Amino acid sequence: MIYDHRTYTCHPGRIKKHMQLYADHGWEVQRKHLGEPAVYGAVETGDVNSYVHIWVYKDAADRSTRRAALAADPDWQKFLKLSSESGNLASQVNTILTPAPFFDPK
């Protein structure tokens, strides 16, 4: 099992606009291909212009297959275009995590 931990940072004052854009155009299509995220939330302390989502995959091949299907979906391409045109995002950091040997995800 692997976790794809993603942190996106918006320009100040634009996170609500970006989250609404995603809710309207990205949420359903992303879940259609990637399944339910383990976490999807806005940062409340620290960099409050950020939000985090964590997706769970069986392995790297599963991640690659599902992300390729997402990338090929015209509805996702539409969202990416709208997101780019909005100029809301300042940065993105992706981290792949594996569970510690003593951690039993249920």
The domains located in the chain, with CATH, are 2-97 (3.30.70.100)
Q: What is the pTM of this model?
A: 0.89
Per-residue pLDDT of the chain (106 residues; tens, 9 = 90+): 999 999 999 999 999 999 999 999 999 999 999 999 999 999 999 889 999 999 999 999 999 999 999 999 999 999 999 999 999 999 999 999 999 999 887 7
3-state percent helix, strand, coil for the chain, nearest multiple of 5:
40, 30, 30
Interacting residues of 10 by C-beta distance below 8 A, sequence separation 6+:
18, 49, 50, 51, 88, 89, 90
Amino acid at 54: I
Q: Which residues pair with 91 in a beta bridge?
A: 9
